[in-house]
Structure 1
Amino acid sequence: MSKIRVGVDIGGTFTDICIMDSAGGIITKKVSSTVDNYARAISEGLAEAFAEHGIGAGEVAELLHGTTVASNAILELKGARTGLITTRGFRDILELRLLRMPRLYDLMWEKPPTLVERSLRLEVDERINAKGEVVRPLDPAEVEAVLDRLLAEGVEAISVCLLHSYANDVHERTVRDIIRRKAPGMVLSISSEVLPEIKEYERTSTTVINAYVKPVVGRYLKSLSADMRRIQLNAPLLLMQSNGGLTPAEVAAEMPVNIIESGPAAGVIGAQSLARRAGFNKVISFDMGGTTAKAALVENGEVSRAEEYSVGGGIMIGSRLMSGAGYVLKVPAIDLAEVGAGGGSIIAIDAGGAPQVGPQSAGSLPGPVCYGTGGTEPTITDANVVLGYINPQQLAGGSIKLHAEKSHAVLAAKVAGPLGLPVEQAAYGAHLVAAANMIRAIKAVSSERGRDPRDFALVAFGGNGPLFAAAMARSLGIRSVIVPPQAGVFSSVGLLHSDVEYHLSRTYRQHTGALDLAELVAAWQALETQGRARLAADGFTPEQMRLRRFAKLHYRGQAYELSVPMPEGPITEATAARLDEAFGDEHERTYGHRAEPGEPVELVSLNLFAGGRLDTPGGAKAPAVIAEQAPPTERQAYFGPEHGWMATPVLQRGHLAARDWIGPAVIEEYDCTCVVPPGLRVRLDPHGNIAIESAPAR
């Protein structure tokens, strides 16, 4: 092998490893995540994979990584002790938040605790107006006094967010310089560097989150680098960003706000690559692992992105829905919907006597009861073992031995008994509840975005996605389900199809009917110069660089904006009309209506996607698919009261090369299991994907 690239994705239950050679050949490995130190699972898993396949660590050209370490720090409130320096009168902006509620009529809902306690939010008496004019100068002596108070409180990080610094950052730069002089080792984030855009709460929240997770991410990357050196792997480390692009580890350490949703993003990029190769114009990616399930859209070859999202609210949905439950991040991210439903999700009986699934998860430790590693609560994996969907002896090619009798016992005692049901019916009910939770995520990115899910194919992956996908698609009226090769480790495969990408922005407010073209051109040139400089610093040549311009607009008087691509070519007087038309189209597609012609449209900000193309093979090779020498086996599986227990063929992907099959069927692979319900047709497509016809054509 030569020019080896390695993708590693960490989940709450498993760590997935994918190794690709220069010809596109792929080796995969799945190991249990080490929650006490996620880096250890990576180094141990890589060392095992290299030994098993005779690979030298020195042959690796790039290590690509998706991680949940930043989001976990927020979810578990285990970030740094952080201080905030802000303009007088804005101390409580993190408490006031926005007038958005996740549940409008729930009087018991409470806002999550702020990431910076009030005693660590301090003010300075300065003022810059929206035009960037200094109204009240900053007193350096006051800044030093405020800094002394924070240092006395033992803060580990400081965030700085002063009013209207996006228009003029002179005061923030002064505060930054004072902190660097008086506390040179202090972790620091200033809003004019993190998010130079209008909207005070969003800018403050985003800057605070960057500071809050910065020490956590820094320690993790330091630990990971030490572990990689220990196994003699010295290749450049690139991290997946929430927006679907890669970034060097050094940049991620400084701007960790861009990798909060690093983990889920890679799978969507993999689905995008698959859709392009297989000729699908519209797909919904569905990723179900051990802890969560995620859904996202890919339309016309492009990933749907949100300009703002919340993390820590139970279901993570982009800005176009009424959210408000978590902590707001105003950075570009793949427009994901995420719910707490995975293989490790715990099944419980609520106060009303009804079964509920998640969001609590058994994770990898103690894990599902069937793992035999100390778990005592029934999980979705235990239910699927009882139903006959999962091999009752083993998972992951035999690396995880299962104890089916323990699953039966715990389901009988804690679910079936209280409900007064046979154990298989209780397990099937829990399976349906989990599916209903995940259908919420699919609807959140499709029908609640003005898209009909029946117009899309469903790309299912993750350790549990293919197990649920066909039945879910049938209930939604989705015709096609696609299960790619290496589906169980597909997020790590997606890393190998990603490029380095920077998303740059600046506030720029003008009415499109009165654009100052010379000023607009100059603003774009400044962003493009910045983007090219960053890519050049990463070693990309001009031929490898790809710049895409976007604009955020809204109708005058609206509080939120939509992003549309800027028209290609030179900026002229015709640009405004084309922008108005593109914005009207996007507004109608998103909200179902558009304003009458002549309604003023305002340009709010400029955004640049600066991408650097990595030397990636055109597409991963589909593994050789040859009908297995041994014939399919068979076991009993339960498909609800309508069908009951059925003798179900247990296949491998290779068996589909010979002929189509009609469900029921279970397709077992090293990294996942695919379940085909009764009556559905399953085949192998020319790209090696499992293709399930789950609904009749409309």
Structure 2
Amino acid sequence: MVTTWRVGVDIGGTFTDIVLLGADGTVHTKKISSSVGDYARAIVEGLGQLFAETGIAGGTIEEIRHGTTVASNAILEHKGARTGLITTKGFRDVLEIRTLRMPRLYDIAWEKPPPLVERRLRRVVDERVDARGRVERQLDPAEAEAVVRDLIDEGVEAIAICLLHAYANPAHETLLAGIVRRLAPDLPLSVSSEVLPEIKEYERTSTTVINAYVMPIVARYLRALRSGLDSAGVPARLLLMQSNGGLMASEAAAARPMHIIESGPAGGVIGAQALARAKDLPDIITFDMGGTTAKAATVEGGHVARAAEYSVGAGIMVGSRLLTGAGYLLKVPAIDLAEVGAGGGSLVRVDAAGGVQVGPESAGAVPGPVCYDRGGTAPTITDANVILGYLNPHHLVGGAVTLNAARAASVFEDKVARPLGLELARAAHGAHLIAASNMIRAIRAVSTERGRDPRGFALFAFGGNGPLFACGMAEQLGMRRIVVPPSPGLFSSFGLLYADTEHHYARSFRRLTRALDLAELNAAWDALAAQARAQLAAEGFTAPTARVTRAAALHYHGQSFDLTVPVPDGPLDAAALRDLEEAFGVEHERTYGHRAGAEEPVELVSIQVVGHGLRANGRLPEHTTPARSEGAIAPRRAYFGTATGWIETPVLRRADLAAERTGPLIVEEYDATCLVLPGWRARLDDASNVLIER
């Protein structure tokens, strides 16, 4: 019987990670340098190398699951499509006015990021629909056609349409969309009433524009990837990870790329959620540290924390939720992440005041850290960890990356230790601790700053550098348990294999709950559910593998912000509405520390559904077996600070932790290194996770 395989692929700033999982539980992994400028090439080349190493045939691959930064990079680098925007007269500058939020209080030098659509490509039509959907001024078809022709003559590569209150009545947007499709049928088109039929003009306009801006870029990338896979003899189905942690078919991703903007970090969180459930760990904080950034998220009660909106290019995403306004806003569900610019490639420098600064600038894939010997001249955290003895001084990634430890020490001595007047080991250890402090900010942002005590959570550490820093960070935070999964350096790719297909739909439905027409409400929810089931059916999911869940966004009448609560299946009646109000009150008290009295009116803001596609044969094997097996490793000296100094430290394989061992220890694997500090103990559980406890 031929073993079939599923593939998880995650593109990072330094490496592209590939995981092959067989139906029998066998795992093959590969890390390959990311091919900046043509990310698809590294995927195809990496798969080719794995096929050559293992003898696996491309035709045995059932499915490829992919997390990508292509869309977010297009926004960050302002390399998206030349986009035109059609909006209502008087609303031409919504993209520039934004919401008047300032991410940096009292900083008069701060400037808003430039809009993705320059003003001369923003066109208006003289029409008006009110908030209830009543037409106050009809759209003139001749004017609409003239505006569309004008943008086409300007040579736009995509068009976004966002008219005032189109969520309540899309008739005028539908007319404009019909003209675009008639005059330029191949021109990418994003229509707000189709992609985000919800209130709030800036949020709706920004989301619609971002969808149009990246549509040609994502479509071109997916075509190139599909072509490369077909040429390599891999005709497998291609699924893309969404920002919310669900998967979508590549065809759907090309049509709605707004859902895959932040797909990269989501896989690891979903994988951590699945493994934590299996280990009966309902509350975990995920910590993912790679070469450029470190990210943290919470899984509480077995559920991933999600945000209803987020900003792309907002810089370090930590701190107060009131300090918003940076970046480009997307009002789509996403895993709620806090991120800091700290990774293995983060540059270490001494500033003018004699202080050590770590990041957020990174050496990236090219030239990389000094020890990679690829032309890098600025010391990095990876160089510091080589000097401290934490990383193998000869190679990384199973020997794929040869290290020049002597050059790393020389550059670090010259540019950091000598200017500080410190011996080399103390300077490197100081940089290591500063990097850890920077990353602790992300963990606090998703825990203490949101009313959660991190000491009640387990730290789930992965990424190429996560297990190296987890012990020291947990010690500072008072956390007592750490989980390091198998293949931690490729876990974001591995986590993709745990995700289900999901499609999210929402529409504004603004009514006071005590004045709701239940028949109207149930009909609106049924329409959204039918839309979700139709999309799932088009992708091969029908009962019992298709499931729809519901939620509602509510607030007290007069509030600007809303909270989302789950809604049970079936038609809603008066008793169900009372339960909905009570669920909102409980969530309000949990989030803000108080709730209003029973007499305070509650307002329904929007209704939401999620269509889940559950693969009948999509569950992972209960046990996985890594195909790579490292040989015996000699101990080496490692530095643990001025109080402890240098210690001859055992260097182990993961399998050596079948019996519990006490720190200090270094666990060396193909894709990551795990550091166990003195005072901690480590062992393997029955699923090959490394459990580290004080």
- Which TM-score band (shorter chain)? over 0.9
What residue is the counterpart of 1:237 in the other structure? 238
What residue is the counterpart of 2:679 in the other structure? 679
Do residues 464 (structure 1) and 465 (structure 2) align? yes
CA distance in 2, matches of 1:354, 1:577: 58
Summarize deviations over 1:311-370 as a string: whole Å, max 9, x none: 101123699453221111000111111221111111223343322222221111111111
What residue is the counterpart of 1:617 in the other structure? 619
Shift of 1:118: 1.3
What residue is the counterpart of 2:277 in the other structure? 276
Shift of 1:529: 0.8
What residue is the counterpart of 2:554 in the other structure? 553
Alignment CA distance shift 1:526-1:628 (3 Å): closer
Shift of 1:570: 3.6
SS in 1 for 2:117: coil
CA distance in 2, matches of 1:591, 1:107: 31
CA distance in 2, matches of 1:220, 1:325: 27
What residue is the counterpart of 1:105 in the other structure? 106
What residue is the counterpart of 2:360 in the other structure? 359
What residue is the counterpart of 2:333 in the other structure? 332
Alignment CA distance shift 1:522-1:321 (3 Å): same
Shift of 1:302: 1.4
Q: What does 1:381-392 correspond to in 2, within 5 Å?
A: 381-392=382-393
CA distance in 1, matches of 2:67, 2:270: 12
Summarize deviations over 1:586-613 as a string: whole Å, max 9, x none: 1222222222232211110011011001
Summarize deviations over 1:75-126 as a string: whole Å, max 9, x none: 1111111111111111111111113222212222221111111111121111
SS in 2 for 1:542: coil
SS in 2 for 1:546: strand
Q: What does 1:59-208 correspond to in 2, within 5 Å?
A: 59-208=60-209
Alignment CA distance shift 1:436-1:74 (3 Å): same
Equivalent position amino acid for 1:417 in 2: R
Alignment CA distance shift 1:598-1:19 (3 Å): same
What residue is the counterpart of 2:264 in the other structure? 263
CA distance in 2, matches of 1:573, 1:100: 39
CA distance in 2, matches of 1:419, 1:325: 35
Do residues 446 (structure 1) and 447 (structure 2) align? yes
Q: Which runs of 5+ in 2 are unaligned?
A: none
8 Å CA contact 2:81–2:217 kept in 1: the answer is yes
Alignment CA distance shift 1:18-1:568 (3 Å): same
CA distance in 2, matches of 1:609, 1:509: 20
Shift of 1:645: 1.7
CA distance in 2, matches of 1:170, 1:299: 42
Do residues 571 (structure 1) and 609 (structure 2) align? no
CA distance in 2, matches of 1:415, 1:637: 19
Shift of 1:8: 0.6
Summarize deviations over 1:405-461 as a string: whole Å, max 9, x none: 121122112222222222222222221221122111111111222211111111100
CA distance in 2, matches of 1:474, 1:575: 46
SS in 2 for 1:262: coil
Do residues 523 (structure 1) and 524 (structure 2) align? yes
What residue is the counterpart of 1:246 in the other structure? 247
CA distance in 1, matches of 2:60, 2:368: 35
CA distance in 2, matches of 1:42, 1:23: 24
CA distance in 2, matches of 1:171, 1:335: 35
Shift of 1:569: 4.2
Q: What does 1:292-691 correspond to in 2, within 5 Å?
A: 292-316=293-317, 320=321, 322-614=323-615, 615-619=617-621, 621-623=623-625, 630=632, 633-657=634-658, 659-691=659-691
Equivalent position amino acid for 1:476 in 2: L
SS in 2 for 1:359: strand
CA distance in 2, matches of 1:13, 1:613: 33
TM-score by length of 2: 0.97
CA distance in 1, matches of 2:414, 2:664: 29
Shift of 1:25: 2.4
Alignment CA distance shift 1:51-1:442 (3 Å): same
8 Å CA contact 2:27–2:626 kept in 1: the answer is no
More deviation, 568-577/205-214: 568-577
Equivalent position amino acid for 1:338 in 2: E
8 Å CA contact 1:459–1:482 kept in 2: the answer is yes
Q: Which runs of 5+ in 1 are unaligned?
A: none
More deviation, 88-97/258-267: 88-97
CA distance in 2, matches of 1:220, 1:576: 46
More deviation, 418-427/75-84: 418-427
CA distance in 1, matches of 2:601, 2:67: 42
Alignment CA distance shift 1:671-1:263 (3 Å): same
8 Å CA contact 1:626–1:655 kept in 2: the answer is no
Shift of 1:628: 8.2
8 Å CA contact 1:651–1:668 kept in 2: the answer is yes
8 Å CA contact 1:307–1:319 kept in 2: the answer is no
More deviation, 405-414/59-68: 405-414
CA distance in 2, matches of 1:151, 1:483: 53
More deviation, 614-623/35-44: 614-623
Alignment CA distance shift 1:640-1:669 (3 Å): same
Equivalent position amino acid for 2:78 in 1: L
Shift of 1:215: 1.1
8 Å CA contact 1:627–1:655 kept in 2: the answer is no
CA distance in 2, matches of 1:40, 1:587: 48
CA distance in 1, matches of 2:628, 2:136: 74
SS in 2 for 1:543: coil
Which 4+ residue blocks in structure 1 deviate beyond 6 angstroms? 624-629
SS in 2 for 1:352: coil
Alignment CA distance shift 1:470-1:622 (3 Å): farther
CA distance in 1, matches of 2:204, 2:626: 50
TM-score by length of 1: 0.96
8 Å CA contact 1:627–1:656 kept in 2: the answer is no
Alignment CA distance shift 1:66-1:324 (3 Å): same
CA distance in 1, matches of 2:585, 2:423: 55
Shift of 1:164: 0.3
Summarize deviations over 1:174-198 as a string: whole Å, max 9, x none: 1111112222221111111111111
Shift of 1:492: 0.8
CA distance in 2, matches of 1:554, 1:322: 21
8 Å CA contact 1:506–1:605 kept in 2: the answer is yes
8 Å CA contact 2:273–2:304 kept in 1: the answer is yes
Shift of 1:620: 5.1
8 Å CA contact 1:240–1:259 kept in 2: the answer is yes
Shift of 1:257: 0.2
What percent identity do the matched residue pairs reach? 62
Do residues 31 (structure 1) and 32 (structure 2) align? yes
8 Å CA contact 2:497–2:620 kept in 1: the answer is no
Shift of 1:299: 1.5
8 Å CA contact 1:625–1:654 kept in 2: the answer is no
Q: Over aligned residue pairs, what C-alpha RMSD do you find?
A: 1.7
Shift of 1:625: 11
SS in 1 for 2:133: coil
Shift of 1:150: 2.2
Equivalent position amino acid for 1:55 in 2: I
Equivalent position amino acid for 1:132 in 2: G
Summarize deviations over 1:200-238 as a string: whole Å, max 9, x none: 000000011111111111111111111101111011100
CA distance in 1, matches of 2:619, 2:267: 17
Equivalent position amino acid for 1:617 in 2: R
